[in-house]
């Protein structure tokens, strides 16, 4: 008689009964001794579930040993989204709502935005015997709050440089005039002389625009964090950069298809084609390209500082990843710090991780550590980082500046706008 | 065995059965939409905690010339994609229907091949077409074109207008299968005696198509157009992988703009205002759809 009603009620009760199964996600294994839970969130490429077997093998080994040494700790590992901007936005939202994991990987340039939610780790850094002045200045400074306390540790860095074919370019160009002169010869020899990312992604701004803009002394924001890139001298300096790239495309030294390449790694396919003579890229491409064109192919390539406008100083952009600890529980904070110390930040951790993954260490002493397996370019990368390395501003307006200037650069390269119009439109959009 | 419940029990049963659906709708649709509308009237960003009431998101959006350009690109993308998807979907459906009536072999293979494009995630389609449209000599379409016109300067993705056309082609390839499924279902249920009677009366194939099949299937075609239009307005994953919205803003549709505003520029207020605009467009399209269904039911 009341079968329909009864069935409905039973179904709801069954659903309610099953809800823990759906809501629970990973079910913790029963570990009677475990009293500390560390929620550890890493970028997929830096995690136990990465696609590179060598990285995963290293991490499984070091994390496995750490677990044995810390039976009282349960490690819950999760990964960020592969899209960096998206994953950082979501992590920031979680942090602002008090839902951040215990320890998470953070794109260093945006780490200051997390300062209100991160826990200081000065005591743990000191106890581990790590000196902050061992870090490159840009890496050591950015993790400190206004109170001078340490809120994170940058464990990898990267640097933007000029890659050039040593068999085609005898002396790497130092100035834009040098680039144009050597490109003329390379073009007549049938090569794509000078490639650079000019599409709509952070790589275009960070690699193609900022180093040449900073080299002239340009500033994206002022001391108060207000955008200044499109006004006064800064406007002239940014226009110089856009005009330089326009002249490369207009003269056929750079193909307009660079407007499709937003990130440095997008150029790898061009390099593999054998028709590229020079390109702007990141140090991390050494490992990527070696796996594509082989060690012999890579041996043809040299590395130099990014060419600058005549009279400008050398400058380049440095990035990288940090670890930040969100948990306020002291025991969990210590356990999380111990994990990142062993795997990524300590002497052996940073030496091994950077060697295996092909990143640059952020601590100067690691470059002379016997465990660190440097590649042929590491010495020069370290020199460039130390002397010319600059980081993107942490101002609230920076993401919009970057986005609008990516649009401006790709519009100039594709011929949609003149450099003046493109820059003025970007300036208006940022200031609206 | 069917049993008729008493009126009171029927009413209670009705609410009990409906409850899970209502809860799901509230949890995954009503609350998120309410939050988006709420955020659109604030200056919220992901870079700072807290926000205050503001109309600047809407005023900035509506007075921004870039937004007008984004709307223009979106309309071009949607109109061209929907037209091509429905026309090609209808042609493939006719082809399959013809094969079916003639008892031809291989129809399953054709259906599967067309459906495969629909089943592949948008990001993968974007990457595949990016490789196809590569302007390097190794790009498949570039290589084929250069066989015909050696030395041609091809800019499938680096010229603003060509990039939009390339995006429409890729989206048409992706979405044609959906139209084909809907319209093929319509053709399968098409009354055969109508077709046979017209043939006996001397109507040739073209007349039967334009004067019998299309008028009979017109309601289904309209529904197909509405559904495909809503889907195309919401497209962003394929474009994200194919062009990223560039060069410049030449392929930046409104859905991609929302994603970039929120996740790249961290501007929740402005991104939410654009999302509300897209929601209104979709509500309008859905309203037309339901009105049409009601008219048809009368």
pLDDT of residue B290: 81
- Lowest-confidence region among A140-149, B100-109, B128-137: B100-109
- Asked if A270 lies within 8 A of B47 by C-beta distance, the reply is no
Residues of A with CB below 8 A from B3's CB?
Answer: 1, 3
Is a pLDDT exceeding 60 seen at residue B5?
Answer: yes
Q: Is the ipTM of this complex over 0.85?
A: no
Q: If you measure CA to CA, which chain A residue comes closest to B246?
A: A200
Q: What is the pLDDT of residue B110?
A: 81
Residue in A5, A269, A422 closest to B9 by CB: A5
Q: Would the CB atoms of A200 and B244 count as touching at under 8 Å?
A: yes
* Nearest CB to B155; choose among A15, A256, A410: A256
Does any CB of chain B come closer than 8 Å to the CB of residue A10? no
Task: Give the separation between CA A221 and CA A230, rounded to whole angstroms.
Answer: 10
pLDDT tens digits for range B175-227: 999 999 999 999 988 888 888 888 888 888 888 888 888 888 888 998 899 89
Q: Which of B265, B268, B272, B273 is the mutation pick for testing A, counting most A CBs within 10 A?
A: B265
Residues in A touching B250 (Cβ below 8 Å): 414, 416
Q: Considering the domain delimited by B65-297, tell me its CATH architecture.
A: Orthogonal Bundle (1.10)
Does residue A232 come out as left (phi exceeding 0), alpha (psi in the -120 to 50 range) or beta? left
CA atoms of B165 and B173, how far apart (whole Å):
12
Distance from CA of A262 to the nearest CA of B (A): 8
Q: What is the pLDDT of residue A26?
A: 43
Which member of A3, A255, A416 has the closest CB to residue B250?
A416
**Residue A185's CB: how many other CB atoms inside 10 A?**
13
pLDDT at B67 over 50: yes
Comparing CA positions, the residue from A236, A281, A274, A239 lying closest to residue A258 is A281
Nearest to A160 by CA among A426, A380, A405, A395: A380
Decide: A78 and A48 in contact? Cβ < 8 Å: no
CB contact under 8 A, B130 and A425: no
- 371-430 of A, contacting B, C-beta below 8 A: 396, 399-400, 403, 406-407, 410-411, 413-417, 422, 425, 429
DSSP string, B61-113: HHH-HHHHHHHHHHHHHHHHHHHHHHHHHHHHHHHHHHHHHHT-S-HHHHHHH
Q: Check CB contact of B249 with chain A, cutoff 8 Å.
A: yes
The CA-atom distances, in angstroms, between A56 and each of A51, A336, B59 are: 8, 19, 50
Residue B198: phi, psi to the nearest 5?
A: -65, -40
Beta carbons of A199 and B13 less than 8 Å apart: no
What does the H/E/C string look like for A68-121?
HHCCCEEEEEEECCCCHHHHHHHHHHHHHCCCCCCEEEEEHHHHHHHCCCCCCC
Q: Residue B297: CB partners within 8 Å, gap ≥ 6?
A: none
Query: Which residues, including other chains, have CB under 8 Å from residue B111's CB and lie 6 or more apart?
Result: B96, B184
The sign of the dihedral angle between the CA atoms of A373, A378, A379, A384 is: negative
- Tell me which residues of chain A, numbers 113 to 142, contact chain B at a CB-CB cutoff of 8 Å: 113, 116
Give the closest of A12, A255, A403 to B19, CB-based. Answer: A12
Q: Tell me the mean pLDDT per 10 residues along chain A, length 432.
A: 46 43 41 76 93 92 95 93 84 89 94 92 95 92 93 95 96 97 96 96 96 97 94 97 97 95 94 96 91 93 97 94 95 96 96 91 92 87 91 88 96 95 95 84
CB A410 within 8 A of CB A389: no
- The CA distance from B35 to the nearest CA of chain A, in Å, is 14
C-beta atoms surrounding A162 within 10 Å: 23
Burial of B174 (0-12, 13-18, 19+ CB in 10 A): buried
A30, A33, A37, A38: CA torsion to nearest 10: -110
Q: Is B99 on the interface with A (CB under 8 A)?
A: no
CB of A432 within 8 Å of a chain B CB? The answer is yes
A3 contacts in chain B (CB < 8 Å): 3
Is residue A227 a contact partner of residue A431, using CB atoms and an 8 Å limit?
Answer: yes
In sequence order, which ranges of A189-345 are alpha helices (DSSP H)?
A: 202-203, 210-215, 232-250, 268-272, 285-298, 330-340
Residues of B in contact with A92 (CB under 8 A): 46-47, 266
User: Is there a contact between A259 and B130 if contact means CB atoms under 8 Å apart?
Assistant: no
DSSP state, residue A281: E
| A62, A349 contact by CB (below 8 A) | yes
Nearest to A416 among B160, B244, B267 (CB): B160
Arithmetic mean of pLDDT, B148-168 = 89
Among B3, B48, B250, the residue with its CB nearest the CB of A1 is B3
Q: Are A295 and A235 in contact (CB under 8 A)?
A: no
Kindly list the domain boundaries of chain B, sorted by start residue.
65-297
A92:B159 CB<8 A: no
Four-CA torsion A331, A332, A335, A339, nearest 10 degrees? -170
Strand-by-strand arrangement of the A73-79 sheet: A73-79, A36-42, A103-107, A321-325, A153-154
Of the candidates B245, B237, B233, the one whose C-alpha atom is nearest the C-alpha of residue B284 is B233
Residue A7 has what pLDDT?
Answer: 47
Across the interface, whether the CB atoms of B265 and A413 are under 8 A apart is answered: no
Task: Quote the DSSP letter at residue A44.
Answer: G
Residues 6+ apart with CB under 8 A from B43: B51, B52, B54, B56, B57, B269
Q: What is the pLDDT of residue B3?
A: 62
What pLDDT, on a 0 to 100 scale, did the predictor assign at position B297?
61
Give pLDDT, residue B104: 84
Interface contact B136, partner A, CB < 8 A: yes
The answer to whether residues A320 and A359 touch, using CB atoms and an 8 Å cutoff, is yes
Q: What is the pLDDT of residue B266?
A: 86
User: What gap in Å lies between CA A283 and CA B45, rounded to an integer?
Assistant: 33
Q: What residues of chain A lie within 8 A of the CB of B246, using their CB?
A: 199-200, 259-260, 262, 406-407, 410, 414
CB < 8 Å & 24+ apart, contacts of A55-60:
A55/A356, A55/A357, A58/A352, A58/A353, A58/A356, A59/A343
What domains are defined for chain A? 31-154+321-358 (3.40.190.10), 159-315+392-431 (3.40.190.10)
Minimal CA separation from B168 to chain A, in Å:
17
More confident residue, A150 or B1: A150
Listed by number, the residues of chain A in 67-86 with a beta carbon closer than 8 Å to a beta carbon of chain B are 83, 85-86
User: Going by C-beta distance under 8 Å and a sequence separation of 6 or more, which residues neighbour residue A206?
Assistant: A160, A317, A319, A392, A402
| Parallel/antiparallel/unpaired status of strands A36-42 and A73-79 | parallel
């Amino acid at each position: 008689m009341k079968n329909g009603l009864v069935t409905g009620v039973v179904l709801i009760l069954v659903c309610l009964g099953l809800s823990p199964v759906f809501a629970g996600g990973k079910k913790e294994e029963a570990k009677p001794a475990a009293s500390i839970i560390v929620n550890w969130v890493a970028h997929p490429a830096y995690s136990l579930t990465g696609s590179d077997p060598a990285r995963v093998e290293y991490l499984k080994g070091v994390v496995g040993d750490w677990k044995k040494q810390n039976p009282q700790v349960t490690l819950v590992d999760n990964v960020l989204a592969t899209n960096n901007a998206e994953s950082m936005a979501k992590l920031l939202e979680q942090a602002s709502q008090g839902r951040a994991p215990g320890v998470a990987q953070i794109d260093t340039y945006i780490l200051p935005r997390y300062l209100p939610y991160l826990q200081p780790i000065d005591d743990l850094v000191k106890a581990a015997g790590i000196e902050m002045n061992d870090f490159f200045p840009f890496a050591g400074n950015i993790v400190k709050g206004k109170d001078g306390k340490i809120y994170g540790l940058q464990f990898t860095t990267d640097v933007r440089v000029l890659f050039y074919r040593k068999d085609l370019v005898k002396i790497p160009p130092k100035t834009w005039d040098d680039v144009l002169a050597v490109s003329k010869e390379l073009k007549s020899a049938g090569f794509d002389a000078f490639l650079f990312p000019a599409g709509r992604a952070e790589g275009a701004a960070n690699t193609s625009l900022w180093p040449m803009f900073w080299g002239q002394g340009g500033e994206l924001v002022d001391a108060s964090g207000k955008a200044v890139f499109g006004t006064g001298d800064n406007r002239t300096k940014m226009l110089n950069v856009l005009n330089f790239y326009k002249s490369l495309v207009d003269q056929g030294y750079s193909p307009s298809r660079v407007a499709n390449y937003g990130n440095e790694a997008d150029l790898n396919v061009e390099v593999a084609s054998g028709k590229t003579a020079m390109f702007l890229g990141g140090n991390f491409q050494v490992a990527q390209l070696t796996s594509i064109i082989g060690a012999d192919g890579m041996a043809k390539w040299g590395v130099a500082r990014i060419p600058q406008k005549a009279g400008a100083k050398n400058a380049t952009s440095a990035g990288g990843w940090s670890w930040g600890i969100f948990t306020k529980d002291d025991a969990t904070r210590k356990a999380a710090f111990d994990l990142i110390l062993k795997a990524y930040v300590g002497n052996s951790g940073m030496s091994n991780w950077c060697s295996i993954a092909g990143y640059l260490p952020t601590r100067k002493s690691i470059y002379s550590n016997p465990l660190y397996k440097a590649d042929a370019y590491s010495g020069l990368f370290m020199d460039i980082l130390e002397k010319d390395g600059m980081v993107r501003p942490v101002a609230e307006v920076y993401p919009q500046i970057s986005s609008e200037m990516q649009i401006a650069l790709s519009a100039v390269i594709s011929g949609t706008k003149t450099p003046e119009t493109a820059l003025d439109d970007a300036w208006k959009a940022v200031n609206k | 065995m069917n049993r008729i419940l008493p009126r009171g029990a029927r009413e209670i049963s009705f609410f009990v059965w409906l409850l899970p659906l209502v809860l799901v709708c509230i949890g995954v649709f009503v609350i998120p939409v309410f939050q988006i509308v709420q955020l659109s009237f604030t200056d919220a960003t992901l870079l700072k905690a807290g926000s205050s009431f503001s109309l600047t998101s809407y005023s900035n959006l509506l007075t921004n010339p870039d937004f007008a350009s984004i709307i223009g690109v979106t309309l071009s993308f949607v109109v061209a994609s929907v037209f091509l998807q429905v026309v090609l979907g209808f042609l493939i459906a006719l082809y399959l229907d013809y094969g079916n009536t003639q008892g031809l072999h291989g129809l399953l293979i054709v259906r599967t091949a067309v459906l495969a494009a629909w089943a592949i995630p948008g990001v993968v389609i974007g990457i595949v077409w990016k490789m196809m449209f590569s302007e390097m000599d190794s790009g498949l379409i570039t290589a084929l074109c250069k066989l015909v016109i050696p030395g041609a300067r091809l800019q499938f993705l680096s010229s603003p207008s060509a990039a939009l056309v390339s995006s429409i082609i890729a989206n048409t390839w992706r979405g044609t299968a959906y139209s084909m499924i809907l319209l093929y279902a319509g053709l399968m249920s098409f009354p055969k005696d109508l077709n046979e009677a017209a043939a006996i009366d001397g109507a040739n194939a073209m007349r039967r198509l334009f004067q019998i099949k299309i008028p009979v299937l017109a309601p289904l075609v309209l529904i197909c157009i509405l559904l495909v239009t809503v889907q195309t307005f919401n497209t962003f994953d394929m474009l994200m992988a194919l062009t990223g919205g560039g060069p410049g803003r030449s392929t930046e549709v409104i859905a991609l703009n929302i994603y970039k505003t929120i996740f790249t520029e961290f501007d929740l207020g402005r991104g939410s205002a654009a999302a509300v605009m897209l929601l209104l467009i979709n509500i309008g399209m859905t309203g037309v759809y339901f009105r049409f269904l009601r008219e048809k039911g009368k």
